Amino acid sequence: MNARITSLGFVEVKGLSCAIAVADAMLKSSSVCLYAQMQRDPAQITIVVEGDLGACDAAVTAGAEVARGLDALVGVLVKGKPDIAIEALLREQRSAAQKVAAPIVLAQSAAPAAPAPSTGGHEDYGMSERTLLVFLADAPGGCTVSVLAAHFKTNVQLVRTMLNRLEREQKIERSGKRFRVSSVAA
């Protein structure tokens, strides 16, 4: 069963470079995770972040400020506790967008040329221990299992298995439904 989304923040902009600048500002401004980027036509991109309501509001405010400065803001929305039908619609939209075009990869450094020995065979999904830890390190507020599964395009159970192992090794820690890099490991 997928974890429910707490809140979502949307900023729609004109142009790829503006979308990257907006996403960067949103992710750095508060404890949110990149949920999706959606491109409905070549000129408009929507950046969607997930987190608690206050964090999403702060992220949208920061993203909108950057977009206004670049004269590229189309629209904004903060949605707290979206209905399950809205979650399904967004997952469907995100899935369709990923099939049409390669996703914009944000908040992740390059993966190593060869997988680290401790990947446990997860390299087929683009998720290794290293890439997972790097992604979590770039999300100070942590991320939910469903956000990680969506980012790495893999199933929730595989993500849970790796997270549980990393938690036992004290490389990450859990706070509610969110996982973050452990202060002991940092």
pLDDT at 114: 38
Stretch 42-46: mean pLDDT: 86
**What is the 3 state secondary structure string of the chain?**
CCCCCCEEEEEEEECHHHHHHHHHHHHHHCCCEEEEEEEEECCEEEEEEEECHHHHHHHHHHHHHHHHHCCCEEEEEEEECCCHHHHHHHHHHHHHHHHHCCCCCCCCCCCCCCCCHHHCCHHHHCCCHHHHHHHHHCCCCCEEHHHHHHHCCCCHHHHHHHHHHHHHCCCEEEECCEEEECCCCC
Could you read off the pLDDT of 129-147 as tens digits, one per residue?
888 888 888 776 788 888 7
Domains of the chain: 7-100 (3.30.70.1710), 117-181 (1.10.10.10)
Could you read off the pLDDT of 87-126 as tens digits, one per residue?
788 777 766 655 544 444 444 434 333 333 333 443 334 6
Question: Mean pLDDT over all residues of the chain?
Answer: 78
Which of the two residues, 4 and 60, has the higher pLDDT score? 60
pLDDT at 175: 83
